[in-house]
């Protein structure tokens, strides 16, 4: 027997291609040394060229998965990915409250407000966006949207660093403790700058932008690496710094798979000399 590791819970959908979703979250948790727990929300049918459809898990079954693992094994940090419908979001909100997960509660809660795949296929029914704003963001220890999700949630189009600050302020109005505006999708920039804010502290995380088309699962991998580090007891700024180093190396070592967009990869963690990116 060995010492029990910390645990991290992902509440997310399955990607049959294994690049994003719950599959990305589980391998990131493993690579970061925490035991992964899952509450499956939806099953997508997809490969490297796109998502052809999805079916959602009944909301009471999503909530029951959260209660089952929280009650027995204990959760040290949790995150959300694809939530698919407003009814699932409502069920998740009640289940995380009951498990003492969320802002100002015992267990940190990272909300990745997944709305669409990188091919633009919707992963969230249209009416569910308001449920993310009103039921999830007020419960979030950290919300980590990309620039498309910032636009969907706030109507702000981010082009400059000043826009990022404005977007962070607008998102904080919905009630999360911290906001990370991810610059990874900004066009034409040679750096990838993510802005972290809690309304008092403002930290810019500046890293290299790697020239690769294979970035499937990048957002999920960053959010789950942050969640894993929160599970290990780091505070939000340190967990974001560690998560950013982790995703940079995963993007640098992404690979082609299928005819379309290949996945980011944490295989480098299996090498004996593994260290995150120094970018
Ligand atoms: O990367 C966002 C994402 C999250 N969850 C699932 C996905 C995707 C993107 O394709 O398929 C299940």
Per-residue pLDDT tens for 84-107? Answer: 999 999 999 999 999 999 999 999
Per-residue pLDDT at 59: 98
State residue 192's pLDDT score: 85
Tell me the pLDDT band of 274, cut-offs 50, 70 and 90: confident
Helix (H) or strand (E) holding 223: helix 218-231
> Is 211 contained in some domain?
no
Q: Is residue 231 part of a domain?
A: yes
**Ligand 1 atom closest to Cα of residue 217:** 1
In a domain, 18, yes or no: yes
Please report the pLDDT score of residue 188 as a whole number.
60
Comparing C-alpha atoms, which of 103, 81, 241, 77 is closest to residue 177? 103
Total domains in the fold of the chain: 1
pLDDT at 121: 87
pLDDT of residue 57: 98
What is the model's pLDDT at position 279?
Answer: 54
The dihedral through the CA atoms of 219, 225, 226, 228 has a sign that is: positive
* Reported confidence tier of residue 126, pLDDT bands at 50, 70, 90: confident
Q: Which two tokens stand for residue 112?
A: 């990745």
264 within a domain of the structure (yes/no): no
Pocket test residue of 12, 21, 27, 51 for ligand 1, highest count of atoms within 8 A of CB: 21
Mean confidence (pLDDT) of the chain:
95
- Structural domain contains residue 278: no
Structure tokens at 67: 């209660």
Contacts of 192 (CB under 8 A, 6+ apart): 183, 184, 186, 206, 207, 208, 209
pLDDT at 276 over 80: no
Residue range 141-156, pLDDT digits in tens = 999 999 999 999 999 9
The answer on pLDDT for 205 being more than 70 is: yes
Residues 6 or more apart whose CB falls under 8 angstroms from that of 61 comprise none
pLDDT tens per residue across span 63-81? 999 999 999 999 999 999 9
Ligand 1 centre from 148 Cα, in Å? 14
Work out the angle at residue 97's Cα, subtended by the Cα atoms of residues 5 and 114, and round it to the nearest 5 degrees. 75
The verdict on residue 236 lying in a domain is: yes
Closest ligand 1 atom number to CA of residue 13: 12
pLDDT exceeds cutoff 60 at 185: no
The more confidently predicted of residues 170 and 278 is 170
Q: Per-residue pLDDT for 119 more than 90? A: no
Residue whose CA lies nearest to ligand 1 atom number 1: 217
Mean pLDDT value of segment 228-246: 98
Q: In this predicted structure, what is the pLDDT of residue 184?
A: 63
Most ligand 1 atoms within 8 A of CB, residue of 123, 124, 251, 254 to mutate: 123
Averaged pLDDT, 173-194: 84
Output the domain CATH number for residue 242: 3.40.1190.20
Question: In this predicted model, what pLDDT tens digit does every residue of 208-225 receive, in sequence order?
Answer: 989 999 999 999 999 999
Is residue 88 situated within a structural domain?
yes
Q: What is residue 186's predicted lDDT score, i.e. its pLDDT?
A: 60
| Angle formed by the axes of helices 161-172 and 147-154, nearest 10° | 50
Query: How far apart, in whole angstroms, are the C-alpha atoms of residue 11 and residue 51?
Result: 19
Is residue 267 one of the residues assigned to a domain? no
Per-position b or e across 161-184, b if 16+ CB within 10 A of its CB:
eebbbbbbebbbebebbbbbbbbb
Backbone angles phi, psi at 227, to 5 degrees: -60, -40
Domain hosting residue 92, numbered range: 7-148+222-257
User: In this structure, which residue's CA is closest to atom 11 in ligand 1?
Assistant: 15
- pLDDT, one tens digit per residue, over 22-65 is 999 999 999 999 999 999 999 999 999 999 999 999 999 999 99
């Amino acid at each position: 027997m060995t010492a029990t590791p910390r645990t991290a819970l992902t509440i997310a959908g399955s990607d049959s291609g294994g690049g994003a979703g719950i599959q990305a979250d589980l391998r990131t948790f493993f690579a970061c040394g925490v035991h992964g727990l899952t509450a499956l929300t939806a099953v997508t049918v997809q490969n490297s060229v796109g998502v052809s459809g999805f079916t959602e898990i009944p909301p009471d079954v999503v909530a029951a998965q959260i209660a089952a693992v929280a009650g027995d094994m204990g959760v040290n940090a949790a995150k959300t990915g694809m939530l698919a419908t407003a009814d699932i979001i409502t069920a998740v909100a009640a289940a995380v409250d009951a498990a003492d997960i969320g802002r100002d509660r015992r267990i940190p809660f990272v909300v990745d407000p997944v709305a669409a795949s990188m091919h633009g296929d919707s992963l969230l029914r249209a009416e569910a966006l308001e449920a993310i704003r009103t039921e999830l963001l007020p419960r979030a220890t950290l919300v980590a949207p990309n620039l498309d999700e910032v636009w969907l949630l706030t109507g702000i189009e981010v082009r400059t660093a000043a826009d990022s600050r404005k977007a962070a302020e607008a998102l904080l109005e919905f009630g999360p403790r911290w906001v990370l505006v991810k610059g990874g999708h900004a066009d034409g920039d040679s750096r990838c700058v993510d802005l972290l804010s809690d309304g008092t502290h403002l930290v810019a995380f500046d890293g290299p932008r790697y020239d690769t088309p294979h970035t499937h699962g990048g957002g999920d991998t960053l959010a789950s690496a942050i969640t894993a580090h929160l599970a290990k007891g780091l505070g939000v700024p340190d967990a974001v710094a560690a998560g950013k180093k982790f995703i940079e190396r995963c993007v640098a070592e992404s690979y082609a798979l299928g005819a379309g967009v290949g996945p980011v990869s944490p295989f480098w963690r299996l090498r004996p000399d593994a260290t995150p990116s120094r970018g």
